[in-house]
Amino acid sequence: MTSKELQQRLFAVGQRIEGAATRAGRAPGSVRLLAVSKTFGAEAVAQAVAAGQRAFGENYVQEGVEKIAELAAMGSAQGLPGLEWHFIGPLQSNKTRPVAEHFDWVHSVDRLKIAQRLSEQRPADLAPLQLLIQVNVDGEATKSGCAPGEVLALAQAVAALPRVQLRGLMCIPDPARPTEQRRAPFKALAALLAQLNAAGLAVDTLSMGMSDDLEDAVAEGATIVRVGSAIFGARAPKAPAA
């Protein structure tokens, strides 16, 4: 993809977000775009940076850490501005250290052990790691995320940890849900965030909505939408681990 094509794609996604926010009576600036760059190389990210994008999401620890290093080197050589890196994939407890050391946000905290390890491993010279709790809003047995009924207790425990800051909630609803049910998971996540605020937790972030359903998510209060294919195009399959 050429730089111009990627710029046009970014602009089109921005227009979709702005339109959805306007229809919902929200300020366009209240919704942030997270460009999901998993499986795409550093050059593609650099093209997006040149088009004005600053926040990027990665699903795989090793790939993300390597890409962050590549972009940092490009920044030193080419003057790229500072970027914000979000880890959005499932996170195993034995892989928390590189995430704690290199990322700015983690969207996929689904149990206290993960948050505790991120807290312990976050370098003291870095800003607090921003955390979101992933919620399994559909109750799918094969999907990551804590149950809705467990969110408050987990949030209270995470909020008490040092070197991390609880910011809100994230969900990945079933993409095969019927059209008339597309907004229900987003409404449910927004209601959970309101419950956390009512319990005295200062949380402000709803990470929900992707390329195919961002309008529904924005209508229900999304503050971050995670968009990959609509920006970077179709992904090649991830190579199997060696």
Instruction: For 150-204, write each residue's pLDDT tens digit.
Output: 999 999 999 999 999 999 999 998 877 777 788 999 999 999 999 999 999 999 9
* Structural domain contains residue 63: yes
- If one counts the domains in the chain, the total is 1
* Structural domain contains residue 41: yes
Instruction: For 33-90, write each residue's pLDDT tens digit.
Output: 999 999 999 999 999 999 999 999 999 999 999 999 999 888 766 666 789 999 999 9
Rounded distance, CA 221 to CA 218, Å? 5
One-letter amino acid for residue 134 of the chain: Q
pLDDT exceeds cutoff 60 at 235:
yes
Q: What is the CATH number of the domain that holds 221?
A: 3.20.20.10
* Structural domain contains residue 59: yes
pLDDT of residue 163: 98
* Structural domain contains residue 25: no
Quickly count helices (H) and strands (E) in the chain: 9, 8
pLDDT exceeds cutoff 60 at 239:
no
pTM recorded for the entire structure:
0.94
Instruction: For 103-159, write each residue's pLDDT tens digit.
Output: 999 999 999 999 999 999 999 999 999 999 999 998 776 678 999 999 999 999 999
Domain boundaries, position 139: 3-17+30-232
Rounded distance, CA 185 to CA 79, Å? 41
pLDDT of residue 40: 94
Which residues make Cβ contacts (< 8 Å) with residue 46, sequence separation at least 6? 71, 74, 78, 80
Over residues 214-239, the mean pLDDT reads 89
pLDDT of residue 242: 45
* Structural domain contains residue 92: yes
* Structural domain contains residue 84: yes
